[in-house]
Amino acid sequence: MTEQPSPRQTLIGKRVAVLDQGWIELQDMMGDDLAIVNAARVSFLGESKGSERDKKLLFYLLEHRHTSPFEQVEFRFRVRAPLVVWWQWVRHRTWHVNAQSGRYTPFEEGDFYVPAAWRLQAADNKQASEGELTGPAADALTEALREHYERSYALYRQALQAGVARELARMFLPGFAVYYTWVVKVDAHNLMHFLRLRMAPDAQYEIRQYALALYEHFFKPALPWTAEAFETFVMPEFSRPD
């Protein structure tokens, strides 16, 4: 009988595309659903009592917010995202991060986010969008944005060629749109907190796409019991995009 590969074996190295040219890649992970259960049973040497009882205990832990055992599972990702995403991501201070530096590595032409649609400002929410701009006006904005990126990058290259330090030449780049690559690490407890906030319908579209990708392609396959409990007790209103 062939032994089935573990979630870790199938997920390490997996890369998922997000937005127009971003991605998430799982570099490493530690633990699984059983590791969470065993941590909760530390006084009893962490022995499994069968899948039915193990799963029941895990559900009890999450339902009653006994969250420390979930911190025994960790994920490390390599993520490429525009700064408009990172600006919100780093507000979750429980993540450990190391970011690409524009002081050491020059940016490439085309390292800029182009939104697929121009969302309109919501009438009753100062920090949200609602509906989309369509037709010639939207096309004109996209073309103007691409021209802005081309001009900005040309000025950036001009400064580099003049001998200006990379740390200053990058001032010409459109800040919120430029893509950065980061290495990030988080435990399952704090990842669930991130997912609860960033998968919500009122989260900004761009970071919501990263949260959904984290959940569907990595968290759920790695921790199926925990994901089921998460959707039952933490985020019962969660609905996947069409």
Would you name the residues annotated as active-site residues? Answer: 198
Instruction: Give every strand in the sheet of 15-18, ordered side by side.
Output: 15-18, 22-30, 74-82, 179-187, 96-99
Q: How far apart are CA 18 and CA 208, in angstroms?
A: 10
Spatial distance between the Cα atoms of 93 and 25, rounded to a whole number of angstroms: 21
Instruction: Assess contact for 120 and 130: CB atoms under 8 A.
Output: yes
Q: For residue 188, report the phi and psi dihedrals to the nearest 5 degrees.
A: -65, -35
What's the Cα-to-Cα distance from 93 to each of 27, 84, 190, rounded to whole Å?
20, 17, 9
Token pair, residue 235, equals 């985020």
24's CB contacts (< 8 A; 6+ apart) are: 15, 16, 18, 77, 78, 79, 80, 210, 213, 214, 217, 218
Q: Copy the structure tokens of residue 130.
A: 């609602």
CA distance 235 to 242: 18
**Inter-residue contact 195 to 94 (CB < 8 Å):** no
